[in-house]
Each structure stands twice: as C-alpha cells, then as structure tokens.
Structure 1
Amino acid sequence: MKWMKSLVVLTFIGLSSAAHADSDAVRATILGQMNALRAGDAESAYAYAAPDLKRLFPTAERFISMVRKGYAPVTHASAPRFLRSQSKADGTFAQEVAFRDNEGQPWRALYMLARQPDGEWRITGCYLRKVEGTDA
C-alpha cells in the first residue's frame, strides 16, 4: 500500500512538471511574438502563428496588417504579466496576459495556443480588451 501512495505522488509530480513545462513554453511563445511585434519584425511574429491562422493570412505582410488594424495595443505591449492559464487535454492552452500599450494604458489579452505535431506551441488566436482604471 505504501508503494501505491508513492506512485500517486510521483504521478502527480510528473503531471505538475509537464504542466509547468507547457506553461513555460507557452509563455516563451507569447513573449517571442510580443517582442517581434514590438521590434516591427513581421516575419518573426508570423512564425509564432499556428497553421490555421497562417491559412487565413498567408503572408507575413497580411498577418502584420491584420495585427496592426485589430490588435494595435499588442504591437507596443510592455510590462507583460502572465495571469491565469489553462491547459486542456486536447493539446490547447489558454493564457491571460496583462500589459500596457505605448500610451501606458492597461490591457488584457487572452491568448489561445495549440501544440503542434513537432511539440511546439503556436498561437491560434488572441482576444483583447482594454482594462478600465489603472491596473493592467
């Protein structure tokens, strides 16, 4: 019976470290795209997009144009803070990020990502909302 408890604890630890690794990889993907957008590097920002998103915007130029029109605050995001996240069994991940735009206004973004066949995380979508008040 004692070995059963150890197995349960080891299984939990294994799941926790896997979830932590996913969380770290997701954060790295989001930060990578944010940094590329802030630098004006359309090709690098586009590289973080999932294949379905790339089918909708088949070139980096079209992608960056869409981002600039509909997600302008993200192109100048600063001081990102990672908030709630959720990993799903279907290989998707949701990550909430608070940040400030180039005018210091607070925003929240909910990034949706999917694990690709090669194990990499890619962004499938982003929902953006302005935060009222002063706290991002």
Structure 2
Amino acid sequence: MTGRQASRLAALLALLLATLLAVGTGGAAPAVAQDVSPADRTAIQGVIQSQVDAFRRDDGADAFGYASPAIRGMFGSPDLFMEMVRQGYRPVYRPQVFDFREIVLLNGEITQKVHVVGPDGRPVTAFYPMTRLPDGTWRINGCHLQTPEEHQV
C-alpha cells in the first residue's frame, strides 16, 4: 500500500468512525421499517449475505460490487475497499455468527440490523443502511458497528 493509499484509507476510516458515533448517539430510537415488502427484505438480506460470502472468499471485486455507487466512489477500487474492511470491520469480514434481525429506519434510511459475533468472539450489532438503485436492486450504503455497551448509553 502506498503512502497516498494509506492516507486515504485513514481518512475514510475516520469518516466511517464519525458516522458510527453519530448513529450511536443519534437520540431518537429507530423506527421499524414496516413498509418494506417481504420481497425487498429477502433482496436486502441476499445482498448483504452475498457480500459477507465474498469477504469470506477474499473476493474483493464481488464484495465491492454489492456496495452502493456512493461507497464505490469513496474507495475507488476493490483493493482499497477490502483493505478498509480487513482493518476496520473484522466482525463482518470474518464472522463466527451472522444473524439477520429487523429492518429499521435509521436517519431516514432503510437499515438492516444484524447480530454478529466476530472472530474474537465478541458480539456487535451491524447496521447496514441500504439504497435502491434505479433498476430496483438494493446495494449496501455503509456499515456501522455497535458493541453491546454502546446500546446502553
């Protein structure tokens, strides 16, 4: 990794951390996304599961393809995206447990909650904000991790 890539990765991790802190301290409780159809729930969970499966195979191109255009634009390449995931998102990169929970509205976005136990055995909740593309398909528009202690703040 070049110095420029490392600087870009550090800046992106800082941005994602700031987003995580905003989600963790957002104040208002998330509302259940009741208007999400069963077909959309299945599609959303399928996209997320496919990305996690790609992480497990270390298939950066495939994993990157499940990210929203905004996320792909932030990272620019599958390699940089995968490096960020390896460094900042170990629980979803190599989960022991990956269990879908409810879909909620969080900061105005349809967001899939997932109970995750990472490779270190520690549980986290992963929040996956989703975006629907013009063709009707769903893409992942980020991932925010919260530990159980953060839920009690």
TM-score with structure 1 setting the length: 0.76
Q: Which residue is 2:133 aligned to?
A: 116
Structure 1 segments (4+ residues) deviating >3 Å: none
Q: Which has the higher contact order (CA 8 A, sep 6+)?
A: 2
Asked if the contact 2:102/2:112 (under 8 Å) is kept, the reply is yes
The alpha-carbon deviation at position 18 of structure 1 amounts to: 6.5
The alpha-carbon deviation at position 65 of structure 1 amounts to: 1.0
Q: Following the alignment from structure 1 to structure 2, what is the Cα–Cα distance between the partners of residues 17 and 63?
A: 31
Q: Percent identity?
A: 34
Which residue, 112, 124, 137 being the options, matches 1:107?
A: 124
Q: Which residue is 2:71 aligned to?
A: 53
Work out whether 1:43 is the aligned partner of 2:66.
no
- Stretches of structure 1 that go unaligned for 5 or more consecutive residues are 1-15
Q: Which amino acid aligns with 1:109?
A: A
Asked if the contact 1:19/1:87 (under 8 Å) is kept, the reply is no
Q: Which has the larger radius of gyration?
A: 1
Q: Following the alignment from structure 1 to structure 2, what is the Cα–Cα distance between the partners of residues 97 and 119?
A: 23
- Stretches of structure 2 that go unaligned for 5 or more consecutive residues are 1-33
The alpha-carbon deviation at position 17 of structure 1 amounts to: 9.7
Higher mean C-alpha displacement, 27-36 vs 98-107: 98-107
> Number of residue pairs matched?
115
Q: Could you report, residue by residue, the CA deviation over 1:116-135 in whole angstroms, capped at 9, with x for unpaired residues?
A: 01111000111012235xxx
Q: Following the alignment from structure 2 to structure 1, what is the Cα–Cα distance between the partners of residues 130 and 113?
A: 11
Work out whether 1:80 is the aligned partner of 2:80.
no
Higher mean C-alpha displacement, 94-103 vs 25-34: 94-103
The alpha-carbon deviation at position 78 of structure 1 amounts to: 2.9
Q: Following the alignment from structure 2 to structure 1, what is the Cα–Cα distance between the partners of residues 70 and 120?
A: 32
Q: Following the alignment from structure 1 to structure 2, what is the Cα–Cα distance between the partners of residues 127 and 42?
A: 19
Q: Which residue is 1:71 aligned to?
A: 89
Please state which structure has a larger fraction of its residues in strand. 1
Q: Which amino acid aligns with 1:19?
A: S
Other structure's SS at 2:145 match: strand
Q: Following the alignment from structure 2 to structure 1, what is the Cα–Cα distance between the partners of residues 134 and 146?
A: 31
